[in-house]
Amino acid sequence: MSVNQNKVDQTRPFLDHLIEFRTRILFTVISFFLIFLISYFTAPYFIDLIKQSAKTYHINLNIFKVTESVSIYMKVMFFQSLCVTIPILVFQIYLFIKPALEKSINKIVLYTLPVVSLLFMVGALIGLKIFVPLLLSFFLNVSENLSVETVYSFTDFFTFVFTVCLIFGFILELPAILSFLTLLNVITPQKLKQYRKFAYPLLCFFSVIVTPPDVVTDLIVMMILFMIYEISIYICDIFSRIRTRNMEKLIPNEKEVT
């Protein structure tokens, strides 16, 4: 009887964590759908913003399907909901792992949560203001060289802008994500330095894919990605020292208790 009771006691914490994790994921999903419904009222503003960016390059956006207008609204609403839900998801993850964090690390994580959201927004803005014009100018030049009249779909144009903004939004979040993993002792600055020989070629490959086949543009994007990676290592090194210092403080306290 006691053996069975011990097994139940051992599995109960796991089940409690699983239930809590499910609850927080469910809360995030419900938040996403609620924001999705609310974003219907703000979608026209973003659609006008896309129209203005297209007019800058004298691009006439067209609709080729009867249902495409509804699809445009849905995609714009999805983009807005995703941008707002990401901070909610990060905060729910923080609440889930909060009991396992030391008090000092807990404060650091809590203060850096707004930075995560801000970095995503800044990255998306960089993608919209810098890389979307670069890519558009390249594709327009190719169309002119072919001497053909190009007809642009509103859905394709928005998908293009959305993809670029999303990619650079997540790229700029790299320092915050790696710092967070360093606090959890999942990675270390030493490992990141060792992985340079693998990370740099991958970053070069990525920069060549997302930019026009122009050497200058490729080099600029490569330098930005390298700089973000090195900044991530530097920030992770700071967080690693903070974690080590806190662990050294905890060890004497545990000895005094024993």
Residues 6+ apart with CB under 8 A from 169: 83, 120, 121, 123, 124, 127
Arithmetic mean of pLDDT, 144-171: 81
Residues linked to residue 61 through DSSP beta bridges, in sequence order = 152
Residue located via tokens 């030391």:
102
Residue 90 lies in domain: 9-249
Q: By CB neighbour count within 10 A (0-12 exposed, 13-18 middle, 19+ buried), where does 144 fall?
A: exposed
What's the pTM? Answer: 0.69
Contact assessment for residue 143 and residue 150, using Cβ atoms and an 8 Å cutoff: yes
Arithmetic mean of pLDDT, 32-61: 87
Residues 6+ apart with CB under 8 A from 221: 131, 207, 210, 211
Bridge-based pairing state of the strands 61-62 and 152-153? parallel
More confident residue, 96 or 103: 96
2 within domain boundaries: no
Residues 6+ apart with CB under 8 A from 123: 165, 168, 169, 170, 171, 172, 173
Check residue 101 and give its pLDDT: 67
Contact assessment for residue 243 and residue 105, using Cβ atoms and an 8 Å cutoff: yes
Q: Is the pLDDT of residue 98 over 60?
A: yes
4 within domain boundaries: no
- 198, HSE (Cβ side, Cα atoms, 13 Å): 5
257 within domain boundaries: no
Residues 6+ apart with CB under 8 A from 77: 36, 39, 40, 43
Q: Chain centroid to CA 6: how far?
A: 42
Q: Is the pLDDT of residue 30 over 90?
A: yes
Q: By CB neighbour count within 10 A (0-12 exposed, 13-18 middle, 19+ buried), where does 123 fall?
A: buried
119 within domain boundaries: yes
- Cα–Cα distance, 242 to 20 (Å, whole number): 29
What confidence tier does 7 reach under pLDDT thresholds 50, 70, 90? very low
194 within domain boundaries: yes
256 within domain boundaries: no
Q: Is the pLDDT of residue 174 over 50?
A: yes
Domains of the chain: total:
1
Arithmetic mean of pLDDT, 178-194: 79
258 within domain boundaries: no
Contact assessment for residue 225 and residue 209, using Cβ atoms and an 8 Å cutoff: no
